[in-house]
Amino acid sequence: MQFGGVGAAAPSGRFAVVSDGAGRRVGPLAVVLLLVAVLGLAGCRADRIEPVVTPPGGYGFSVGAPQIWMSAEDADREMDAAAKTGAQWLRVHIDWHFIEPVQGKFDWAYADRWINGARSRGLKVLGLITNTPGWAREPDTSFSHPPINAADYADFVTTVVKRYQARIFDWEIWNEPNLPRFFGFSAGRPAGYVALLKAAYPAIKLVQPSATVIAAGLSPAVGVDAPPNFVNDMYIAGAKDYFDAIAMHPYVFPGGIAADPSHGWSDVARVHDVMTAHGDGDLKIWMTEMGAPTASATDEGVTQEEQAKQIVDVMAGLANTGFCGPIFIYSIRDLDTTNPDDVQDNFGALLTTDGQPKFAAGVLARPPNGGWR
């Protein structure tokens, strides 16, 4: 997920045309203006907003690491909330360092809860396989550090895919390796990440040949860590033919698409340009995280209404690009709504910590007649 930073790049013109589902072709700005107009006329009543424009692959939710320690009651509450929206997906955090803390000994309880719960509610699952147990990484490094031996990661990936192959058909390899803290501050991160891809891709295909293997979601960043630069360095390190799609995290808070913080919006098109230059222009880009925090006491926080607008805006802007895969909203419920000073505690799009619906829950609610534009 995104940890701040602002930029000033203009949004790419390649996102300028979307469809409202009724034969009209409108830009993302029109979608936003429609949303704002309806909000004003309806006194901020979410039930009066037109159905959102969704990408062809649908949308879903990403919860992240809290899936590990969340109670069964809270997990059910979150999945029930997601099932009341137009969501088709749930991204499940499959944490190697938690599931196999001792080599060869596995604890699948939390992963089973989320995967089975999602499937029982009609949601498809994206399996995110990430992090490294202490026994597999260098001493005095964090769990986000890559393993000493990529083959150990491949062994775990194989075990995961064998266990869930009847329930999960799409796999994301690691999370935000373009941010130093999410790849253990290791050196040569693009090449180090490609080593994991080269180990995981054939391991998955051997068990599940039809699976979709997605390169890790990249966070908005600048300089060498900017997604276009990181993806290009991945290709230089030999990544081609070791993924079926690439993932990005187009966060645009607090200013939205027009402000384009850290190029979170415009870098999506730039990454696709890099992919095209390397012969992969036909592959999709999955948006495995996006959203905005309602942390009212910080400069990076937004109102609940602005949070909903940014979610609708990004989905609409990406819907008809031709290269957008599914989109995942981060997240479902606030970690601590009572702490408005902390961005990370307030990313819930649907629920406050105590289970009260947020504004976006009404915006994203499944229409009574079913179906989405």
> What is the distance between the alpha carbons of residues 249 and 264, in angstroms, rounded to a whole number?
7
- Least Cα distance to 226 among 250, 191, 253, 201 occurs for 250
Query: How much is the pLDDT for 143?
Result: 97
pLDDT of residue 181: 96
> How many Å apart are CA 28 and CA 183, to the nearest integer?
34
Query: What is the average per-residue pLDDT within 308-315?
Result: 95
Calculate mean pLDDT across residues 213-240: 98
- Rounded to 5°, the CA angle 261-16-221 comes to 20
The region, left, alpha or beta by phi > 0 then psi within -120 to 50, assigned to residue 141 is beta
pLDDT digits (tens, 9 = 90+) for 78-96: 999 999 999 999 999 999 9
Domain covering 55-364, topology: TIM Barrel (3.20.20)
Helix axes 28-41, 304-319, angle to 10 degrees: 150
pLDDT of residue 366: 82
- What pLDDT digit, counting tens, does each position of 346-363 carry? 999 999 999 999 999 999
pLDDT at residue 368, as a whole number: 58
pLDDT for residue 278 is more than 60 = yes
C-alpha closest to that of 363 among 39, 19, 22:
39
Whole-number mean pLDDT of the chain? 88
Average pLDDT over residues 20-46: 38
pLDDT at residue 53 in the model = 92
Question: How far apart are alpha carbons 345 and 330 in whole angstroms?
Answer: 12
- What pLDDT, on the 0 to 100 scale, is given for residue 331? 98
Q: In this structure, are residues 245 and 214 in contact, taking their beta carbons and an 8 Å threshold?
A: yes
Predicted TM-score (pTM) of the model is 0.88
Host H or E run for residue 171: strand 170-175
Give the pLDDT band of residue 137 (cuts 50, 70, 90): very high
Residue 175 contacts residue 123 (beta carbons within 8 Å): no
Higher pLDDT, 311 or 24: 311
pLDDT of residue 1: 59
Q: In 3-state terms, what secondary structure has residue 31?
A: helix
Domain boundaries along the sequence of the chain? 55-364
**pLDDT for 60-76, tens place per residue?**
999 999 999 999 999 99
User: E strand or H helix at 9, and its extent?
Assistant: none
Q: What is the pLDDT of residue 18?
A: 36
pLDDT at 51: 63
For residues 99 and 108, the answer to whether their CB atoms sit within 8 Å is: yes
Q: Which parts of the chain fold into alpha helices (H)?
A: 28-41, 66-69, 72-83, 96-99, 109-120, 150-164, 189-207, 227-236, 266-277, 304-319, 359-364
Taking only the tens place, the pLDDT of each residue in 138-148 is 999 999 999 99
DSSP designation for 142 = -
Query: Residue 15 pLDDT > 80, yes or no?
Result: no
